[in-house]
Chain A
Amino acid sequence: MTPMSYIFGIVSAALILVVVIELLRRRHLRERHAIWWIIAGVLALVAGIFPVTLGWAAGLLGIEVPTNLVFFVSISILFLVGLQHSSELTQLESKTRTLAERVAILELRLRDAEQASSDKN
């Protein structure tokens, strides 16, 4: 590993964390959605600063090429985030649907009330 690639790894990881924290700070991202990105950023930063930890973790799991561990963890995190988004999309759709149903009923009631009051006058 050249010093250049060493610095590149650290800077990339730090950049991810900075972006995530900045979004959190401006409330453009909720904690529950940020958690996976923070975990990914911290792992990348640790592995960037101390490449030994990556080799050690790979050895512990019996993975011969440490980069494969990086790929595995990255794909896992992306998979979990995708799943979380699908699940929240489903919940949002169901809430939207319920709101639409309530709006339809309320509009009907409003119309009837307006009709009744205009009949009275």
Chain B
Amino acid sequence: MNSLPDRIHSVTSPYLRTLIVMPAFNEEASVAAVVREVHTKLPGISVLVVDDGSADDTTAVARAAGAMVATLPFNLGVGGAMRVGFRFALENGFDNVVQVDSDGQHDPSEVPALLAALQSADLVLGARFAGEGDYSVRGPRSWAMKVLAAILSRTSRTTLTDTTSGFKASGPRAVSLFAEHYPAEYLGDTIEALVIASRARLVITQVPVAMRPRAGGIPSHNPMKAAAYLARAALALVFALVRPSSTYRSGAEL
């Protein structure tokens, strides 16, 4: 898979066994810059961009920037894209997977901190804290996120303040679990993934990270939308908790 110069380079890199996975849906404007930034800040690391059925040139642009690109034939959502990443990591001998957004929201220089925390945990969340970086959420949506954080902290037996973060690092146990069971439903990749990990007795922890503002799009403060978000989140959470544990059994049942 790697050409010879690549291999020599990666032997000297501390990121040999780590795969950066970037789900990308119509991100041709930003994905190349993010891929290049990752390669600059984390020399020798492997980057897999999962083009989630984009209508634009995401695949070609990401490939030209030097990433491996897996192209989904149609849009599956972040959960489906990430499962491709986990499966790819498992089949190609990567121990760790770090999810990085392709819109430039996550700073690749935070990745070493996440990887360091993986030494003593199976799943590390990069938590956005108010005051660090420019990221903030107010109003009903923030209450919804706080309620979620409180419940998921109990489930996962640790303190989590930001459960909807997409900036996550998974260790070997999490990668093999998620390659099979990463949920593809709405909100599944954040809420249900944490429940699955907790129920499989994985150790979850969080690391504070600064978050950059998104390239485009404004977070919604509409109370109706916040209520709908909370309702869907609650539903996702309840079903994740009551699902029969046999559905989460890890192993080679491919």
A residues engaging B (CB < 8 A)? 94, 97, 100-101, 103-105, 107-108, 112, 116, 119
The residue of chain B having its C-beta at the shortest distance from the C-beta of A112 within the complex is: B1
Size bin of chain B's contact surface: 10 to 19
B34-72 vs A: 1/0 string, CB under 8 Å?
000000000000000010000000000000000011111
**Residue of A101, A105, A119 contacting most chain B CB atoms (<10 Å):** A101
CA separation between A97 and B79, bound complex, in Å? Answer: 11
Task: Give every chain B residue within 8 A of A107 (Cβ-Cβ).
Answer: 70-71
Distance in angstroms between the alpha carbons of A97 and B68 in the assembled complex? 21
Q: Which of B7-15, B82-90, B202-210 contacts A (4 or more CB under 8 A)?
A: B82-90
Please give the distance in Å from B61's CB to the nearest CB on chain A. Answer: 16
Q: Provided the pairs A100-B74, A101-B87 are in contact, do residues A108 and B68 lie with their beta carbons within 8 angstroms? A: yes
Q: Is the CB of A105 within 8 A of B70?
A: yes
- Taking a contact as CB atoms under 8 Å apart, the answer to whether B71 and A101 are in contact is no
User: Given the complex, which residues of A lie within 8 Å of B74, measured CB to CB?
Assistant: 100
In the assembled complex, 11 residue pairs joining A and B whose CB atoms fall closer than 8 Å, in A order, are A97-B76, A100-B73, A101-B87, A103-B73, A104-B72, A104-B84, A105-B84, A108-B68, A108-B70, A112-B68, A116-B3
Q: Given A108-B68, A108-B88, is A97 in contact with B73 using a C-beta cutoff of 8 Å?
A: no
- B83 to A101, Cβ gap below 8 A? yes
Say yes or no: is B104 at the interface (Cβ < 8 Å to chain A).
Answer: no
Q: Which 5 residue pairs are nearest across A and B when measured between Cβ atoms?
A: A104-B70, A108-B70, A101-B84, A104-B72, A104-B84
B87 touches A105 (CB 8 A): yes
Cα–Cα distance between A119 and B1 once the two chains are bound (Å) = 12
**How many Å lie between the Cα of A1 and that of B245 in the bound state?**
57
Q: Would you call B80 and A97 a contact (CB within 8 A)?
A: yes
Q: Does B121 contact A (CB under 8 A)?
A: no
Q: Taking A94-B184, A100-B74 as given, write out 12 further A-B residue pairs in contact, using a Cβ cutoff of 8 Å, ordered by the A residue number.
A: A97-B184, A100-B72, A100-B76, A101-B84, A104-B71, A104-B72, A104-B73, A107-B71, A108-B70, A116-B1, A116-B3, A119-B3
Neighbouring A residues of B184 by C-beta, 8 Å: 94, 97
In the assembled complex, how far is the CB of residue A94 from the closest CB belonging to chain B, in whole angstroms? 8
Q: Which residues of A contact B88 (CB under 8 A)?
A: 105, 108
Query: In angstroms, how far is the closest chain B Cβ from the Cβ of A90?
Result: 10
Residues of the A chain whose Cβ atoms lie less than 8 Å from the Cβ of B69: 108
In whole Å, how far is A99's beta carbon from the nearest beta carbon of chain B?
9
**Which single residue of chain A is at the shortest CB-CB distance from B1?**
A112
Residue of A nearest to B2 (CB): A112
* Chain A residues in 8 Å Cβ range of B83: 101
Chain B residues with CB below 8 A from A100, complex form: 72-74, 76, 80
CB closest chain-B residue, reference A113? B1
Q: Please give, as numbers and ranges, the residues of chain A lying within 8 Å of B91 by CB-CB distance.
A: 105
How far, in whole Å, are A112 and B1 apart by their CA atoms in the complex?
A: 6
- B3:A101 contact, CB within 8 angstroms: no
B110 to chain A, nearest CB (A): 27
- A104 touching B50 in the complex, CB below 8 Å, given contacts A97-B76, A97-B184: yes
| Chain B neighbourhood of A103, CB < 8 A | 72-73
